[in-house]
Amino acid sequence: MKPYTIRVLSMGETTVPCAELYWMTRLVGWEPLTFWALLIENEERRILINTGFPRDFSALHKHWTAWAKAATDEEGHVPVVRDEHWIVNALKAAGTGPEAIDHVLITPMTAYATGGLDQFPTSRIWISEHGWTDFHHPDPEIPQLPRNIVFPDHVLHWLEANRQRLNLIPDEYRELFPGIRSWFCGAHHRSSMVYVIETTQGRVGVTDAVFKYRNYEEKIPLGLSESLEEHYRLFARLRRETDLIIPLYDPLVIQRHPKGVIS
């Protein structure tokens, strides 16, 4: 098996309340996020983790800004998504396109990760079975995200029409492909996954349940945590089973990997 090369692609930006990032650690102030998609390649396959925002992200914009205003009495949490952030354009800038992607892996099932799924005409789509089941059969006693914030309406219709290309990933540890493993971690969402990619630098862990390096390095669960226990178990397992991580929303990723490449 040839090691993979990982390239980070920016899907957009926002600024969020610190209380969203750090459980009972920093309750005031705001910090920036960058939404990363990952292009993962070797000589045998080309894989993408997450597809960024939909072209029309007005529903997510309204959801985020209304929540932030209600929670903080401040204006903020505005998604900044420029033309170059659209997944088709980002892939083109990286020298490829949606038609060349063999597999698309999603974590979590939220519109900033699922928004471009309908642009991939031949790819196999991989989504948490736990999250997919929860989306279709939600627990009535647990609050849920609005359905169009999980999947934009047109993306859900596209997925249903292309159900034969949708693969549901079980919770248990699984080798999806040679050199790429997965497991369900939860913590952030019921669809949150860990993907571990073999590179020449070692085992690279990727999950949406770690927003920033500080979460992992200081063992601070997210303020937006659905399970503190799952967060602490995630931190411990990442330390055992990975050599480095890529937080999917930390602007510092591009500072720690200045060329945007991990190989």
pLDDT tens digits for range 129-151: 999 999 999 999 999 999 999 99
| pLDDT (0 to 100) of residue 61 | 98
Q: Which CATH architecture has domain 5-262?
A: 4-Layer Sandwich (3.60)
Q: What average pLDDT score do residues 184-192 get?
A: 98
User: What rounded mean pLDDT belongs to the chain?
Assistant: 97
Close Cβ partners of 247 (under 8 Å, ≥ 6 residues apart): 210, 211, 212, 213, 215, 216, 253
Tell me how far CA of residue 123 lies from CA of 45, 65, 97, 117, 127, in angstroms: 11, 33, 11, 9, 13
**Is residue 233's pLDDT more than 90?**
yes
Close Cβ partners of 226 (under 8 Å, ≥ 6 residues apart): 186, 187, 188, 189, 190
**Is residue 251's pLDDT more than 90?**
yes
pLDDT tens digits for range 67-82: 999 999 999 999 999 9
| pLDDT (0 to 100) of residue 46 | 98
User: What pLDDT band is residue 204 in, cutting at 50, 70 and 90?
Assistant: very high
pLDDT tens digits for range 154-164: 999 999 999 99
pTM given for the model = 0.97
CB atoms within 10 A of CB 78: 13
Q: What average pLDDT score do residues 4-15 get?
A: 98
User: What pLDDT band is residue 1 in, cutting at 50, 70 and 90?
Assistant: confident
Contact by Cβ (8 Å): 209, 238: no
* Rounded Cα gap, residues 26 and 95, in angstroms: 40
Domain boundary assignment for the chain: 5-262
Q: List the structure tokens of 233.
A: 């178990």
